Amino acid sequence: MNDIANPTQHTFRRFKDGETVWDFSDLQTRIFEGERTYKCPTYVRRTPPCQAICPSGHDIRGWLSIARGIDKPPVAGMPWQEYAFQRMAAANPFPALIGRICPAQCQKSCNRDKVDDFIGINSVEHYVGDWAIAHKLKLPAPAEATGKSVAVVGSGPAALSAACYLRLKGHAITIYEARDKLGGMTRYGISSHRLPRDVLDAEIQRILDLGITVVTGKKVGVDIPLAELESKFDAVFLGVGAQKCAPLDAQGADAPNSMSGLAFLNAFNEGRLQDVPARVLVVGETDIALEVAAVARRLGHVEGAKRQNAQVTIVYGRPLPRVLGDKLEHLLAEGVQIRPSLAPVAVVADDTGRAKALRVVEVERGGKRRPNTEVDIECDLIVTATGQSGDFAGMTELDNGSGQMTVDGLYRWTGRPGIFAGGEVLRPLNVNRAVGHGRIAAQVIDQYVRGETMEKRPAFDVYQFDMLAELEQRGLKPADYHHRQESGTDTANFAVHNFEDRSANLDVSASDLFLGHFALEPRVERIERPITAETVLGDFGERISALAEEQVVAEAKRCMSCGSCMECDNCIIYCPKVAVERVPEELRAVGRYVTTDYAKCVGCHICKDVCPSGYIQMGLERIKA
């Protein structure tokens, strides 16, 4: 900088005039306390917020990269959809199911929302899941048999997830289901207009095709003692769900035309309930309550020979919730009446003892009842869905006193070793979270039956990208390390140079990204068929249509690839020293698109500043002789 005239005009200077040699005596302190001049770029993979909050731990960024063409299939001729399905199924074997009914916490956390709108993650998953079913894709073959066996009790999403991933590990699996068909709440608690039965059946059968034994019509604890499973198998996973509804908290709740939400949905999904009375009153704001209301409106009531719309009303004791989102909007559009801030007091019965009305009282926020505000809401059927608990018939020792089980951080029941649990038997949750319980529990059970140490789970307990596995599938597996001290490892073939995977403990916020790189692009939304109060009767057709392939690719290209290279070339274009260059094409892999020549790098950190995805961090030392 000696040749710059009037240096005092500068507001900031990295070096003083004449300063040509650095003092490296305490370089570590200077790196972390000094200017970025002391640092050079390193490539740090971190967990994107969508995956960090995803209960099943989906590699969302990974399969969006596949859809957009950055991560190409490792086998010639493999469709990208098949490769994306493989990546999805590594964490969640139900992409077609989850793509339809998941509440999509991932989308609510998407960093793209800071630019224009979130990525339509569910819509991509929906498309790939349907493509996989249409093309009869299978899960990978199980590993070599271990000689170990695990009993899985229940067949809901947690149980099936656990069964799937344990079988893939090579263990023999037997599922015990009390009903005639598998699926748990996905079959008996969700109607076909939200989850078509052919979709559910296909994704369950794919898991069974791994070679899983199924015993139906036998309830563990009643028909089969739990102790028998403990003695017969190396471990037991309990995914029995929450099959009991809390009773109506009101005088006269035992009226013959008062029932639970689960009983209502079970009767409907088994084909026993084909119409409802003229006036249906649903108590509660749970998913079960909303499902009951939607089904009741579609069934309607029969008067004479004609089927007519039923009057369906939901009451609950809190103000109108915002968290219900689309579900609430759909119900209102379909003609369901919502009456919030009302608490049940008593069932008003007729001369025969049947409920003819529900007496309610207004409540303030917090549950305090307002005096002299009681009113009767006339009805012909009361359905209660205010909460659920596990059915521990014959297994009362499992009940923690609240109708649920208690497990530790490794999903081990605290009662005795060898018993694990997941899903709604632990606490109310959505389908995606139940799948995550099953996947993580399967990893722990695998360690348990092998006699390995079961360690604390990582901060982000999600599907973890494996750089070594990625290099191996590209034919780029590093050579064996000779275990001798050596310098110049940036050119050695046994080392993965300049890469850190911190995704188990670090995520990526919008402040880590160069948001100015992204143009405004509207989200590609799935077509939603409108259903109104006039058209809802008898309409059990699916509401949402999957995107077309070109739409899916366009939506995937909106992903900002938070925490991983998106191959945009910004670091190459803006590097003033031409120190960043592409890796030769034959040596590229995911996250290995560019490299840095540290003989040229001056630590200016421009590459970090212009990295849209936050993949480049400043940290490596730049020491020159």
pLDDT interval class at 535 (50, 70, 90): very high
Position 291 in a domain: yes
Residue from 332, 280, 282 nearest 311 by CA? 280
482 and 569 assigned to the same domain: yes
Position 30 in a domain: yes
Q: Answer whether 280's CB lies under 8 Å from 379's CB.
A: yes
Q: Does residue 31 register a pLDDT over 60?
A: no
For the stretch 311-335, pLDDT in tens is: 999 998 888 765 456 788 899 999 9
Q: What is the mean pLDDT of residues 35-47?
A: 78
**d(Cα 567, Cα 564) in Å, to the nearest integer?**
9
Q: What is the mean pLDDT of residues 431-455?
A: 94
pLDDT interval class at 39 (50, 70, 90): confident
Domain boundary among 360, 384, 408: 384
Position 59 in a domain: no
For the stretch 497-508, pLDDT in tens is: 888 999 999 999
363 and 427 assigned to the same domain: no
pTM: 0.89
Q: What's the distance, CA 62 to chain centroid? A: 14
Q: Which domain holds residue 409?
A: 149-244+390-449
Position 143 in a domain: no
For residue 202, give the CATH number of its domain: 3.50.50.60
pLDDT of residue 608: 92
For the stretch 578-598, pLDDT in tens is: 999 999 999 999 999 999 888
297 and 355 assigned to the same domain: yes
SS (H, E, C) 160-206: HHHHHHHHHCCCEEEEEECCCCCCCHHHHCCCCCCCCHHHHHHHHHH
pLDDT of residue 53: 95
User: What is the greatest pairwise CA distance in the chain?
Assistant: 104
Percent of the chain beyond pLDDT 90? 74
Give the three-class secondary structure for 26: coil
394 and 370 assigned to the same domain: no
Higher model confidence: residue 156 or residue 3? 156
Contacts of 87 (CB under 8 A, 6+ apart): 59, 62, 63, 66
In the chain, the amino acid numbered 149 is: S
pLDDT interval class at 149 (50, 70, 90): very high
Domain boundary among 348, 367, 384: 384
Contacts of 281 (CB under 8 A, 6+ apart): 313, 315, 358, 377, 379, 381, 382, 383
400 and 379 assigned to the same domain: no
